Amino acid sequence: MVLDLKKLFRGDGVEESAACELDFSGVELGGAKPFCAPVKVQARMRSFAGSVDFRAQVAYTLSMPCDRCAEMVVRDYEKSFVHTLVRETQNEEDDRLILVPEERLDLDGLILEDVLLDLPGQFLCREDCKGLCPRCGKNWNEGLCACGAPAADPRLEVLRQLLEKE
């Protein structure tokens, strides 16, 4: 969806809003397509001193495999993103500034970027997910396997060996 910002840039204090659903179902992430449901966007814009203050409430659902046990997890998110839209800038470094020289905003592109930048570094089914057994592949969240207890933290193991030597 492309938003026409001409009216907003015409004067100070002009307000506009837009509500829409974006389809990101084709977006691939690490081999999966996590956007299983339409992404709901409510955007509010207000012009001020030759720029436009842009605020978006974004509600989306991610369906992704857990990084440790690979179980599919479906989780809802609600986030807000704020940007300043400008027609020109001397400060290319400031990534809050979004350049819209044609006074048109590619809403899909902006929201997709916001959501992708906001993804958690690690996606877990639960905080203390025990993961899979590296030997037999059993999901340790469902109980231990015949291979025995989960291996100790490798960093602690190194420490233990050092202490034993001394």
The reply on whether position 135 binds Zn ion by CB under 5 A is: yes
CB of 74 to Zn ion, least distance (A): 13
CB of 106 to Zn ion, least distance (A): 35
The reply on whether position 136 binds Zn ion by CB under 5 A is: yes
Confirm if 103 and 9 have CB atoms less than 8 A apart: yes
CB of 107 to Zn ion, least distance (A): 34
Among 58, 66, 98, 105, binds Zn ion (CB under 5 A): 66
Q: How many CB atoms lie within 10 A of CB 105?
A: 23
Q: How many CB atoms lie within 10 A of CB 154?
A: 8
Q: What 3-state DSSP class applies to 88?
A: coil
The letter for the amino acid at 56 is A
The reply on whether position 75 binds Zn ion by CB under 5 A is: no
Under DSSP, the state recorded for 108 is: H
DSSP β-bridge partners for residue 65: 72
Q: How many CB atoms lie within 10 A of CB 100?
A: 21
Which CB sits closer to Zn ion, 41 or 125?
A: 125
User: Total residues at the site for Zn ion (CB under 5 A)?
Assistant: 11
Confirm if 114 and 81 have CB atoms less than 8 A apart: yes
Which CB sits closer to Zn ion, 105 or 129?
A: 129
Q: How many CB atoms lie within 10 A of CB 116?
A: 12
Give the x-and-dash track for 86-125 against Zn ion (CB under 5 A).
---------------------------------------x
The reply on whether position 68 binds Zn ion by CB under 5 A is: yes
Return residues touching Zn ion (CB under 5 A): 66, 68-69, 125, 129, 133, 135-136, 138, 145, 147
